[in-house]
Amino acid sequence: MSFTPSLLPKLIETVTETIIKNAGEITALDQAIGDGDHVTNLQRGLTALMAQRSEISQLDWPAAWQKIGMTVMTSVGGASGSLYGTLFVAMSKSAAGKDLNVQSVAEAFAQAVEAVKHRGKSDVGEKTMLDVLVPVAKHLQDAAAVSLPLSALLEQTKQVAITGMESTRDMLATKGRASFLGERTRGHIDAGAMSSQLVICALVDVLLANLTAPAQ
């Protein structure tokens, strides 16, 4: 891959800053149709990752994803911890022992999203984080298959994530506490979809900046 795990501290820091910056908006969405604790749970996990970011950066990518996944599972409450933890652990398992390139990372992410579907007993169209993760996974696989230039792949990934997040606005929630509100959930973006979109866009921005940074 063009990127090394030395980027992990910057990736973790940028995601943390992004969630803090958008905490109010995400919380308002979560209070409208959810438990209201989504951001608090995410920040607990990000605090744990911030404390370990230097250690994690010394690992190879599969080991780093495994460490991130286990840290998230043990530090984040609610469904988010289990689902995000599953995502990273499954990516690690898929990528272990393979040469990492755009194709293999796209496949690892797709398998990880399938693991999240299984863990959450959910799928696209049910007003969850999967409405962002599933289209992003498909985009990555499609782009890898046609050898799309990495910069274009990354830029398009951001738009796919934003479109997926926006698609949840008019959906009827069928999972979690929101499912009890029925039609009242329409008109609200899902908080988990928004946080997933923000995380993906933050990660992509760091990778794009690294692509265009002058050689040292």
Instruction: Name which of 196, 193, 194 is nearest 127 in CA terms.
Output: 193
Average pLDDT estimate for 198-207: 98
- H helix count then E strand count, the chain: 9, 0
pLDDT at 179 over 70: no
Q: What is the mean pLDDT of residues 40-58?
A: 96
42: which residues sit within 8 A by CB, 6+ positions away?
Answer: 19, 76, 80, 195
Angle between helices 78-95 and 102-120 (to 10 degrees): 140
Number of domains in the chain: 1
First-last CA distance in the chain: 18
CATH number at residue 146: 1.25.40.340
23-33 vs 8-21: helix crossing angle, rounded to 10 = 60
pLDDT tens digit string along 69-113? Answer: 999 999 997 788 999 999 999 999 999 999 999 999 999 999 999
Domain residue limits at 199: 5-212
pLDDT range class, residue 36, cuts 50, 70, 90: confident
* pTM for this prediction: 0.92
Amino acid symbol at 142 = D
pLDDT at 182 over 60: no
